[in-house]
């Protein structure tokens, strides 16, 4: 039986259980996927408990992705680049990776019907999800721009991912917001976002609140979630096959 979980806070809104139960059915695998609310600071303990309880793996959402990185005993290149983990497989060791960047790139390319290479793409935020998106954009030769309230963190993030600070004029054509649902945007930034071609909010469902601040269409993060969920599920299957063949 394949036992999977999502941990974070909050998790009640998450569509991940429905998505992954569908993947399990599609693959003909007997399994379960449960959402467990885990507060900030309790991530490592929760992950070790899931391992002791015989879980195959887990997803990690806000605010535990950095904690999951720290507890992972083996980290993928993607995890090391972003210093965050959203997917864990329990094998001989705790193996951590992140699929957030792949999910964002896949969703953007499906929306544009062309690669992100050479596109001007802005990212709002510099947290775990933002870093994963920026790593994927860097790897796929996009021109990336970063907005955040802390100038020092923006500068550090730009250095790490070969991005540029948010421009005062000529905003990027595509913008991905990784900001919390209830964040208030400065008036100047909101005015810029009215003019860009595409705005994507990584939040979805009732947590996709960015459109309320902007007088324009905002694409919710459903496609990003589904793409990263599929990548996580494929990650678990690949490592299960590897374990079975050892």
Quick check: 123 and 100 in contact, CB under 8 A? Answer: no
Quick check: 226 and 106 in contact, CB under 8 A? Answer: no
Residues in Cβ contact with 124 at an 8 Å cutoff, skipping those fewer than 6 apart: 130, 147, 148, 175, 176, 177, 178, 179
Q: Please, is 239 exposed, middle or buried when counting C-beta atoms within 10 Å of its C-beta (0-12, 13-18, 19+)?
A: middle
SS3 64: coil
Catalytic, 65? Answer yes
H-helix segments, 43-98: 43-52, 65-71, 77-82
Nearest Cα neighbor of 175 from 201, 212, 150, 153 is 201
Residue 92's Cβ-side half-sphere holds a number of Cα atoms within 13 Å equal to 4
Check 65, 119, 164, 212 and give the catalytic one: 65
Cβ neighbours, 10 Å, residue 151: 9
As given in the structure block, the two tokens for residue 45 are 């303990």
Nearest Cα neighbor of 4 from 20, 18, 15 is 20
Q: How far apart are CA 89 and CA 94, in angstroms?
A: 6
Torsion angles phi and psi, residue 211, rounded to 5: -60, -25
Torsion angles phi and psi, residue 227, rounded to 5: -65, -45
Catalytic residues: 65
């Amino acid at each position: 039986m394949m036992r999977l979980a999502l941990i974070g806070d909050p998790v009640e809104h998450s569509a991940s259980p429905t998505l992954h139960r569908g993947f399990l059915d599609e693959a003909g695998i007997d399994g379960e996927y449960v959402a467990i609310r885990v507060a900030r600071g309790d991530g490592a303990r929760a992950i070790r408990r899931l391992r002791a309880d015989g879980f195959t793996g887990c997803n990690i959402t806000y605010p535990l992705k950095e904690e999951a990185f720290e507890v992972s005993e083996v980290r993928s290149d993607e995890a090391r680049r972003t210093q965050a983990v959203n997917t864990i497989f329990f094998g001989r060791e705790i193996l951590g990776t992140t699929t957030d960047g792949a999910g964002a790139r896949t969703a953007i390319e499906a929306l544009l019907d062309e690669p992100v290479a050479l596109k001007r793409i802005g990212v709002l935020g510099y947290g775990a999800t933002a870093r994963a998106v920026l790593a994927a954009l860097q790897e796929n030769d996009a021109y990336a721009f970063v907005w955040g309230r802390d100038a020092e963190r923006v500068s550090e993030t730009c250095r790490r991912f070969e991005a540029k600070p948010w421009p005062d004029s000529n905003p990027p054509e595509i913008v991905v917001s990784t900001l919390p649902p209830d964040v208030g945007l400065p008036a100047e930034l909101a005015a810029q976002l009215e003019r860009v071609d595409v705005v994507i909010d990584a939040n979805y469902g009732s947590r996709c609140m960015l459109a309320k601040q902007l007088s324009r269409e905002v694409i919710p993060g459903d496609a990003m979630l589904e793409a990263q969920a599929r990548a996580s599920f494929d990650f678990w299957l690949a490592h299960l096959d590897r374990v079975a063949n050892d």
